Chains A and B, each alone.
Chain A
Amino acid sequence: MLSHPRFYWGETGNVLTPPLFKLPLPASRALVPTGYGYVLPDQNGWSRYLHFQAAWVVVLTGLLYIISSFFTGHLRKNLLPGKAGLSWRAFSMAIAKHLRFARPSAEEAWSYNLLQRLSYLFVIFVLFPLVIWTGLAMSPAFVSAVPATVTLLGGQQSARTIHFFVSLSLLLFLLVHVVMVCLAGFRSRMRAMITGRAGTHMEGT
């Protein structure tokens, strides 16, 4: 991103073609006219190695998570909204409650509320698959085997632009999550996440 902070739509894009938008950042390559007058040091080598290794971790653990959530009932019990939650009324009530920062009632605190369920489903079944798809669409070798990966998105530069926005959304989701964990009580939430047991039902501590 820093080596070319310009984004395009379609198949191709370079400094000779008009960008869709530019990030207000200096670049790590002298080729890119940013107007900042200096060039950042190149960090692409190791960060690309790290990126693609991390991609394998995401794909493999993600597959394991999705498959196991089908079989253990995690998806049905904890993620899919119940029948009652699928009405507009329930939805607007959940939003109103959320906007008032109302504290969850005692029984609600033990499961995910409607908004949580919907946002988790969106992250798991929309954002992650999309970030992997758009990533593969930028691979010249992968698209040689499966050209539809990139043509369905409208081109390799479109894939890069979508990849950028989806990864930004995932980053935002992560940051908001960390903030919420801190607000809800860092120690008890972390303990619950690691052990799988919520605070008052702790065993053996």
Chain B
Amino acid sequence: MSVLSRRKLIKTGLAAAAGVSGLGVAARIAQKYGLVPPDHGGVYGLGETLTYASQRLLTRHSLAREFSRSQISKPPLANEMPPLSDEFKRLQTGGFSDWRLSITGMAAQPASFSLDQLKSYPSQSQITMLQCEEGWSYIAEWIGVSLSHMLQVVEVHPQARYVVYYSIDPDWWESIDMADALHPQTFLAYGMNGDELPVGNGGPLRLRLPRQLGYKSVKFITHLTVTDSLKGFGKGLGSASPETGYAWYAGI
């Protein structure tokens, strides 16, 4: 081996080492500032991390587009869903008067709310688009209480980093970071287009997250829990979606 190529080899080696340790430092900083998604492992982890990190830096406070009343889709699409459980049907027969939403975890006043109680908090409405990862979309007026308001009611601890939320369908649960949880357009929606939220669209209670794809807007919400780590939930990938092969962050 000539001197020149040895020198080149050493240089390349040093550059590679610097590159790898630079990446290590970058990863640590990203982790500290909450720029790493829970499904960052595996072959697609780098792409997911780049997307999530750059969008968190760019879109932390930006508002989803709102539309005019004339742009509301008529009729609103109710997409296919798994058959409803007997438990759901029982609650439906009772006009959802026994439907409860419990909020637990890192909060000083964990509590459980009926729909009437939720409706007694200041209601808000937004005309936003629901966009499915499959390619279709519709616009509707969503009426509800902002999630950030309910998190204030239960007095969430400042260390909270994620909100995990569950459908009555045990296979459907999701989580979001606090940037999304405290975002003014993140709703617990109980109404649509001036009426009750239809069952086909997620009624009686659905989370609405207009800056992410539809599968994050979980239907039939019964339980929320506030946490500082997603490790203990399911396989630790953040939600049910990555466990079935879909990205945790769906702001794309």
Contacts and interface: CB of A to CB of B under 8 A. Distances in A.
Interface of A: 1, 3-4, 6, 11-17, 29-31, 44-46, 48-50, 52-56, 138-145, 147, 150, 156-157, 160
Contacts of B63: 144
B136 A139 contact: no
> Interface SS of chain B: helix, strand, loop or mixed?
loop
Contacts, number: 119
Contacts of A147: 65
A60 B139 CA distance: 34
B95 to A, nearest CB: 28
B33 interface: no
Contact of A140 (B79, B80, B136, B251): B251
B59 interface: yes
A194 B210 CA distance: 46
A11 B67 contact: yes
B246 A156 contact: no
Interface residues of B, number: 41
Most buried by A among B44, B55, B135: B135
Interface in B102-136: 129, 131-136
23 contacts: A3-B134, A3-B135, A11-B67, A11-B71, A12-B71, A12-B129, A13-B137, A14-B136, A14-B137, A44-B133, A45-B247, A53-B47, A56-B47, A138-B131, A138-B252, A139-B251, A140-B213, A141-B252, A142-B59, A142-B251, A144-B63, A144-B210, A156-B131
Contact of B48 (A31, A52, A139, A145): A52
A187 to B, nearest CB: 28
Nearest to B137: A12
Contacts of A142: 55, 58-59, 251-252
Contacts of B136: 4, 6, 13-15
Most buried by B among A30, A44, A54: A44
A29 B58 CA distance: 33
B196 to A, nearest CB: 20
